[in-house]
């Protein structure tokens, strides 16, 4: 009886364990030609907060064929993102997003 119970429990746990070990690549990895196009898609169309939209674009999407696209240091990320996004995005949001991007990269 214990063996049957153990096998039954294992049959429920195994699929969950296999699902947890699945592919770690992001599901939403559509490429974009520009960071601005990606940002507009995530912030304007999907209503993500400014910082989250920037981080998602930097980490999850190839931008002009580059992935991850927002450079290797926090300072380079800030310079890159500031140059790529329209002036309405606040410097504080860019700085915070780049800090998050570097920590999650």
Residue 97 belongs to a domain:
yes
Tell me the helices (H) and strands (E) count for the chain, helix number first.
5, 0
Task: Give the model's pLDDT for residue 92.
Answer: 98
Task: Give the model's pLDDT for residue 48.
Answer: 97
Task: Give the model's pLDDT for residue 3.
Answer: 61
Rounded CA gap, 46 and 25, in Å? 20
- How many domains, in total, are found in the chain? 1
Rounded CA gap, 62 and 64, in Å? 6
Residue 5 belongs to a domain:
no
Residue 25 belongs to a domain:
no
Residue 98 belongs to a domain:
yes
Residues of the chain with pLDDT under 50: 6-27
The token duo for 70 is 């927002």
The token duo for 62 is 């190839």
Task: Give the model's pLDDT for residue 4.
Answer: 56
Domain range for 60 is 35-104
Residue 3 belongs to a domain:
no
- pTM comes to 0.73
Rounded CA gap, 104 and 34, in Å? 21
């Amino acid at each position: 009886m214990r063996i049957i119970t153990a096998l039954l429990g294992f049959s429920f746990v195994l699929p969950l364990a296999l699902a947890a070990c699945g592919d770690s690549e992001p599901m939403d990895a559509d490429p974009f030609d520009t960071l601005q196009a990606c940002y507009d898609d995530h912030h304007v169309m999907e209503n993500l907060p400014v910082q989250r939209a920037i981080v998602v674009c930097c980490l999850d999407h190839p931008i002009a064929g580059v992935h991850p696209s927002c450079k290797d240091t926090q300072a380079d990320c800030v310079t890159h993102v500031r140059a790529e996004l329209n002036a309405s995005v606040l410097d504080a949001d860019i700085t915070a997003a780049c800090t998050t991007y570097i920590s999650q990269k």
